[in-house]
Structure 1
Amino acid sequence: MTRILCISLSPINRDARVLRQIEVLREYGEVTTVGYGEAPPGVAEHIRVPDDRPSLPQTPLGVARLALRRFRAVEIAAPGVAYAHERLRGRDFDLVVANDARVLGLAFALAGGAPVWADMHEWAPEERTHVLSWRLLVAPFMVHLCRTYLPRAAVVTTVGGEIAELYFRRFGVLPAVMRNAAPYSTLDPVPVQPGRVRLVHSGGAVFGRSLETMIDAVRALDDRFTLDLYLVPAADGGRYLAQLKERAGGDPRIVFHDPVPPADLPATLNAYDVGVFWIPPVHTNARLTLPNKLFDFVQARLAVAIGPTIEMQRVVTEYDLGVVSDDFSVDACVRSLSMLTPERIMAYKANAHAAALELSFERERALARDLLAELVTRRSETQ
């Protein structure tokens, strides 16, 4: 039995990309996972990292080493990383999957010569450059990890073509593109209700995504428009989510719901009309994002309203899925939504229905299977 280690220092049961990844990994062997929260479905073993053990070296000693650029000394020194290393060192695996740059050092420390699949969920050097401490201390560490380990990885993947080109230009490694596409859902478009346009958004309540734009836009629109939000509180203890609720000002047209599991999202969102997401290009990852939620909207058979974000706009334009605002201002978002008529919404929903299979996880699943088959074969030939 092929032994596969999948490392993701995230709450895996809320991480749709990693859950889909594990689903494919299980076809090729026995999977051990490392991450926060409960064990994901179907794995042989789960090493649960305590929630109070962060994934970055933010202890006083760790921060000092980051400041002094002693990156080798902190590769496996972050509390969460060190916990996982202690629990797993000495174990043998045939394949190690590293989700995000911060665990690359850990993955290679545990691989013992086994191939490593590095899945870069975004452009790691600028993951949180809107935060000063990240920009000064952590970004250079991410560059070190990518420069050191990506050329040694057997396979590198990332979420979109633009970010793949960045990795090639900066580190000389061209990742394969595996989009954050959701599994195919057998749903049909729901008719628009007379006199109503039901907007919806799902995702993390993360500061910097400008989710307040949605709230401000709806409050500026006429009473036809409603907004339902399915938001996961961020690691800030829910402060930003609380700010969003305060900003809504008790408007009855804006409703906050508890988040739903990734697998349940399309069926939940299917009841609405338009999936909305305007994220200003405050950093590289925002400028180039091609997020889960766009594909969730497609599987839910919704029309889409977005800003002029490069990768998202390409998909929305190619498949004629909805409207793209001129810029990321509230006025521009209001103008784009005001163009929506019931007939246009239903046409966009029909286009989403037609594109649902092509824009589903089936393409990414086939790519992952090809990569894994090669890695597993290569490993068996060297043993």
Structure 2
Amino acid sequence: MSSRPSLLIISFSTLISDPRVTKQIEIFKDRYDLYTCGMGPAPEGVVEHFEIPFGIRAWVNDRFAMITRSYKRAYWNLPAVRLVSEILPVGKFDAVFANDIEAVPVALSLGAKKGVHADLHEYFPELKTNNWQWRIFVAPYMMWLCKTYVPQTTSRTAASSGFARRYQEDLGIDFGTVTNAAPFADLQPTPVGDVIRIICTTAGARARRIELIVEAMRDAPPHIELDLIVMPNEPDYVASLKKLGADIPQLKFREPVAYTELVNTVAEYDVALSFIPPTNASKALALPNKFFEAIQARVGVIIGPGPEMTPLIERYGVGESTDDYSVESLRKTLHGLDKQRVEAWKQAAHRAAPALSSEEQVKIWFDAVHDILG
């Protein structure tokens, strides 16, 4: 029988392809007896994996419960929650690490001997406020989940200081911040050629307003080129983007690559573009993976004027933020790029890479779990 403390990580996602959860598994698997619960196969190095089959919903779909605000019923009747409640043993684990709000109540129900840490990747009460049905029916449910269960956890983190601040204001409890930083990559900045090559990797969802990026490349000067890697989240939308950009010679669509290949793919370029209009509070306060992947790839970064990314851009000198989220502002920034400035950004990214790596960030999770387990 092992003498090491036991830790369970729960996430209603595919664990081996979830960057944030993957980092958690890596830092804890050699320290504790690590158990996991999530979709997909068992991650390497865990004692036992409790698999959630693909297709089992972890998202509320009980319309009557939502309309009548029977939120307890809505949550505990979720197919994924019912399954996890059946397959996970109660009282077995010393600590539980819950990813995202839907994992927190079931994590608390397991009777962990020492405590539960909650890692909230987004600001869930305002996750999709651009959708009126979501605002009316789902947002109050999300706030109920947060106010009912998150204060019962032992410790908490969020994916940006903006998210952490909002949760602290709403719930009156402390939150730490663990950004979506990428692992340190031992790379060198590549020289900038006569043509400045820009890459944008993004989810293919209408809420991302990717058409703004396409239009910003119209009539671009010959010294800049942009490649778009758009995930097929909404295939018809992605198809419309390709049609919109078909007559723009310096704009190309590139096939998606595996997450493990992403930093090396971005390193082929000179500048990474992360331009996400704040269509809801979650996007407004986001500090996305793409920013940190660009730093590890040793390329410059162009962003919209987000309150989380802009201070890092300014502090480390790794790029530039646009004046606003309009096509005109993005076009002005892209068309105005020059070789010397981009070379300076790439060198600055190289200097910033150690400080902005996940190795620094995950220490916060390590300390939180260590404090729980003693």
Smaller-chain TM-score bracket: over 0.9
Aligned counterpart, 1:29: 32
Q: Tell whether the 8 Å contact from 2:221 to 2:335 is kept in structure 1 after alignment.
A: no
Tell whether the 8 Å contact from 1:323 to 1:337 is kept in structure 2 after alignment: no
| 1:73 equivalent in structure 2 | 73
Provide the rounded CA distance (Å) in 1 between the counterparts of 2:163 and 2:309: 13
Aligned equivalent of 2:216: 217
Sort the Cα spacing of 1:206 and 1:40 in 2 relative to 1 into closer, same or farther, 3 A: farther
TM-score scaled by length of structure 2: 0.93
Letter in 1 for 2:175: P
CA distance in 2, matches of 1:79, 1:239: 29
Specify the alignment match of 1:50 in structure 2: 53
Amino acid in structure 2 at the alignment position of 1:5 = L
Say if 2:123 is the partner of 1:123: yes
For 2:231, the aligned partner's letter is V
d(CA) in 2 for partners of 1:42 and 1:137?
41
Across the aligned residues of Structure 1 and Structure 2, the Cα RMSD in angstroms comes to 1.9
In structure 1, the residue matched to 2:166 is 166
- For 1:380, the equivalent position in structure 2 comes to none
**What amino acid does structure 1 have at the position aligned with 2:115?**
P
Aligned-residue offset at 1:274: 0.6
**d(CA) in 1 for partners of 2:351, 2:18:** 27
Contact 2:182 2:358 in 1 (8 A): yes
Residue deviations 1:137-180, cap 9 Å, x none? 22111111111111111110011222211111110112111111
Indicate if the aligned counterparts of 2:158 and 2:177 stay in contact, CA closer than 8 A: yes
CA deviations 1:47-76 (Å, max 9, x no partner) are 332332121121xxx221121111112222
Match of 1:381 in 2: none
Inter-partner Cα distance in structure 1 for 2:212 and 2:67 = 36
Q: Deviations over 1:171-208 (max 9, x none)?
A: 011211111111111101111121x1111122322331
* Alpha-carbon distance, 1:113 to partner: 4.5
SS of the aligned residue for 2:227 comes to strand
2:249 aligned with 1:246, yes or no? no
1:33 to 1:362, Cα distance in 2 relative to 1, 3 A: same
State the one-letter code of the partner of 1:215.
V
2:349 is matched with 352
Counterpart CA distance in 1 for 2:211 and 2:250 is 15
Work out which of the residue numbers 4, 15, 22 in structure 1 matches 2:7.
4
Q: Distance in 2 between matches of 1:259 and 1:25?
A: 30
Cα pair 2:97 2:119 within 8 Å, conserved: yes
Displacement of 1:309: 0.6
Question: Could you tell me the percent identity over the aligned residues?
Answer: 33
Q: How far apart are residue 221 of structure 1 and its match?
A: 1.3
Spell out the pairing of 1:301-316 with structure 2 (5 A cutoff). Answer: 301-316=298-313
Q: Which residue of 2 aligns with 1:87?
A: 87
Q: Which amino acid is 1:4 matched to?
A: L
Q: What does residue 191 of structure 1 align with?
A: 191
Q: Check whether the contact 1:100–1:121 (CA below 8 A) recurs between aligned residues.
A: yes
Distance 1:46 1:240, change over 3 A: farther
C-alpha distance in 2, partners of 1:33/1:375? 18
Q: Which residue pairs with 1:176 in the alignment?
A: 176
Structure 2 distance, partners of 1:290, 1:107, is 26
Paired AA for residue 303 in structure 2: I
Q: Residue 325 of structure 2 is aligned with which of 319, 328, 335?
A: 328
| 1:41 pairs with 2:44 | yes
Instruction: Provide the aligned length of Structure 1 versus Structure 2.
Output: 371
Shift of 1:358: 0.7
CA distance in 2, matches of 1:67, 1:114: 37
The SS at the match of 1:354 is helix
Whole-Å Cα distance in 2 between the matches of residues 178 and 274 of structure 1?
Answer: 25
Q: Deviations over 1:83-116 (max 9, x none)?
A: 2222214461111111111221111122445411
> Aligned partners of 1:11, 1:135: CA distance in 2, in Å?
27
Q: Output the CA distance in 1 between the equivalents of 2:47 and 2:55.
A: 24
Q: State the SS of the aligned residue for 1:48.
A: strand
| 1:265-288 residue CA offsets vs partner (Å, 9 max, x unmatched) | 211111101100111121111111
Given that 2:90 and 2:109 are in contact with CA atoms closer than 8 Å, whether structure 1 keeps it comes out as no
Q: TM-score of the superposition, structure 1-length normalised?
A: 0.91
Q: 1:6, 1:220 → 2: CA distance?
A: 49
1:119 Cα deviation (Å)?
0.3
Q: Take 2:49 and 2:258, find their aligned partners in 1: how far apart are those partners?
A: 19
In 2: Cα distance, 1:162 partner to 1:12 partner = 25
Give the match for residue 290 of structure 2: 293
Residue ranges of structure 2 left out of the alignment (5+ in a row): none
CA distance in structure 2 between the partners assigned to 1:26 and 1:145 by the alignment:
29
Q: Which amino acid aligns with 2:340?
A: E
> Is residue 28–residue 372 contact of structure 1 (8 Å, CA) maintained in 2?
no
